[in-house]
A and B are shown apart, each in its own frame.
Chain A
């Protein structure tokens, strides 16, 4: 909380007839890729609208949980949100396509998929949830964090561990496919639950694990690539439609540029969090061969096409076609 703030979204001066853009998110940390992308977005909106739109940011779930904030955005009480894709999927099922385990296996592929499939998803998500996706933030690959003498290497290693899984049906099913014990524990209860051994671990990007101080109550992390935590920047469609064309264009431009910015910033930041994890004494291992993980997890896909929508299989096919056309690095 004491670091220098390089982005000065707060410097937008107050003026008469100014439009206030209320941004809500659920992160408590002053600096993380979530907060950085929104601060950049807020700053750019101020610049491109000649300060006619001024942002106010409400962090730390002050206004409610992520799903709740999206409902507020749909109703127009909040204007911008940054929900985790798996949480927004509770309202906008189309986004479940991103949750399918092992859909894309590198950050570059994920970025390419986001860029190519978003124009197709935008009208669907507006219809499903009343919010417009204007940009993306990636928080990094979900990694196992846990307390154990031995590292997780094969899916069979999960059998001995009780793992907390986010409330998303596809993620729960992935664990079951690996033979794990997915346990529903509310996120705010997780620190105590880990400390007392109610669960031994869970999976989250390193930023969350260290940001939530879980390093105090676990000893290991293991990286693999079953899914990446992403957050779409979403704008209330009711509010967006009430803006002038110039303002709408400015919002869309700010969304795109904030996405580009955070794709540069996040990997640099994530490297620092891995350093912090190592300094905190967390033993970090990587799963070298992910074949067994991938095969078992991909086998559940057909069961979950319908959670994406009645045309779920076609949506998945579209995503696969895009990935097949990925030009490579």
Chain B
């Protein structure tokens, strides 16, 4: 898990850093009158990829936003495990659907390319990042399911990287 966490964080942080660098280069190149036309695209593509990897990272660190008042209340009545079980089952289905159909979009996009203006990049390749992100989310919930089926409890989030 620690390995996955470092890899996911590393990839998402790289995406963020690329995005910042690209847009900063855009400002600098405009001031210096260099004809650089691909910065906006690189910034957007890095951002989009970053978000899906970061969403997977958010699942790993349990930092997604949720309304937990009611589920906490029900959990106290019927047991936290039942609620966790329900969540895991629903999220498995959702993540699987999203991973499958975004992959399908990628494959469809090979047949019907969507070429960007400056980088000549087939933007449908961005669906790889989306599919990967949801596939990891699926895998993480699958692990939760195994833990629950074995009678264990789901761990609570660990916020800071490195304090494990």
Measured CB to CB, the closest approach of chain B to A166, in angstroms, equals 8
A163-174 interface code vs B (CB 8 A; 1 in, 0 out): 001111100100
Measured CB to CB, the closest approach of chain A to B41, in angstroms, equals 8
Is A129 in contact with B112, judged by CB distance below 8 angstroms?
yes
Is B37 in contact with A184, judged by CB distance below 8 angstroms?
yes
- Which residue of the partner chain, among B30, B37, B117, contacts A162 with CB atoms under 8 Å? B30
Q: A169 to B40, alpha carbons, bound, how many Å?
A: 14
Interface centre among B26, B35, B39 (most CB of A within 10 A): B35
Is A90 in contact with B115, judged by CB distance below 8 angstroms?
yes
Q: Does B114 contact A (CB under 8 A)?
A: yes
**Chain B binding surface, main DSSP class:** loop
Assuming the A-B contacts A182-B37, A183-B30, A186-B40, are A91 and B117 also in contact, with contact meaning beta carbons closer than 8 angstroms in the complex? Answer: no
Q: A93 to B122, alpha carbons, bound, how many Å?
A: 12
Q: A175 to B145, alpha carbons, bound, how many Å?
A: 57
Q: Does A313 contact B (CB under 8 A)?
A: no
Which chain A residues border B157 with CB–CB below 8 Å?
A: none
Q: Does A176 contact B (CB under 8 A)?
A: yes
Q: Does B66 contact A (CB under 8 A)?
A: no
Is B39 in contact with A184, judged by CB distance below 8 angstroms?
yes
Q: A176 to B36, alpha carbons, bound, how many Å?
A: 11
Interface bin, chain B: 10 to 19
Within 8 A of B (CB), among A158-209: 162, 165-169, 172, 176, 181-186, 198
Count of inter-chain pairs, beta carbons less than 8 A? 49
Within 8 A of A (CB), among B33-52: 33, 35, 37, 39-41
Q: A5 to B120, alpha carbons, bound, how many Å?
A: 42
Is A184 in contact with B26, judged by CB distance below 8 angstroms?
yes
Is A90 in contact with B114, judged by CB distance below 8 angstroms?
yes
Q: A172 to B114, alpha carbons, bound, how many Å?
A: 18
Q: Which residue from chain B places its CB closest to the CB of A91 in the assembled complex?
A: B114
On B, residues with C-beta under 8 Å from A are 26, 30, 33, 35, 37, 39-41, 108, 112-118, 120
Q: A167-B118, A183-B30 are in contact. List 19 more A-B contacts (CB 8 A).
A: A67-B114, A71-B114, A75-B108, A90-B114, A90-B116, A90-B117, A91-B114, A128-B112, A166-B117, A167-B116, A169-B117, A172-B37, A172-B117, A172-B118, A181-B30, A182-B35, A183-B37, A184-B40, A184-B41
